C-alpha cells in the first residue's frame, strides 16, 4: 500500500521520510498533598474529577497554556508540595 502511494506521488523513501518531524516529549510531575482527590479514567490517561481539570490539561497539550500548566491548589488540596 505504501509503495503504491509513493509511486503515485513519484516519491522516494527520502521524500517520504522528510514528512516526519520528531517532536519533543515532555512529562511534568505535579505533587499534591492528597492524590486521592484526582480520579482518572482510560488507563490513567484522562482526568475524570475534579471537573474542569482535564480541559486545562487539554489546553496545555494543545500549546495554549505556558508551563507550568496547573496550579493544583485551586483544583485539589492545598498546599501543592512541589511542581516540576
What pLDDT, on the 0 to 100 scale, is given for residue 44?
87
DSSP the chain: -HHHHHHHHT--HHHHHHT----------EE-S-GGG-EEETTTTEEEESTTHHHHHHHHHTT-SPSS---TTTTS-SSP-EE-
Would 13 be classed as within a structural domain? no
Q: Which domain holds residue 47?
A: 25-83
pTM for this entry: 0.45
Would 75 be classed as within a structural domain? yes
Total domain count for the chain? 1
Would 4 be classed as within a structural domain? no
C-alpha cell at 65: 497554556
pLDDT digits over 32-56, tens only?
A: 788 888 899 998 889 999 888 898 8
What pLDDT, on the 0 to 100 scale, is given for residue 64?
61
Would 19 be classed as within a structural domain? no
Amino acid at each position: 500500500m505504501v509503495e503504491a502511494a509513493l509511486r503515485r506521488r513519484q516519491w522516494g523513501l527520502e521524500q517520504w521520510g522528510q514528512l516526519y518531524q520528531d517532536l519533543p516529549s515532555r512529562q511534568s510531575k505535579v505533587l499534591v498533598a492528597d492524590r486521592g482527590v484526582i480520579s482518572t479514567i482510560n488507563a490513567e490517561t484522562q482526568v475524570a474529577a475534579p471537573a474542569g481539570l482535564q480541559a486545562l490539561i487539554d489546553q496545555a497539550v494543545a500549546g495554549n497554556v505556558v508551563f507550568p500548566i496547573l496550579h493544583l491548589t485551586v483544583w485539589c488540596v492545598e498546599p501543592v508540595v512541589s511542581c516540576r
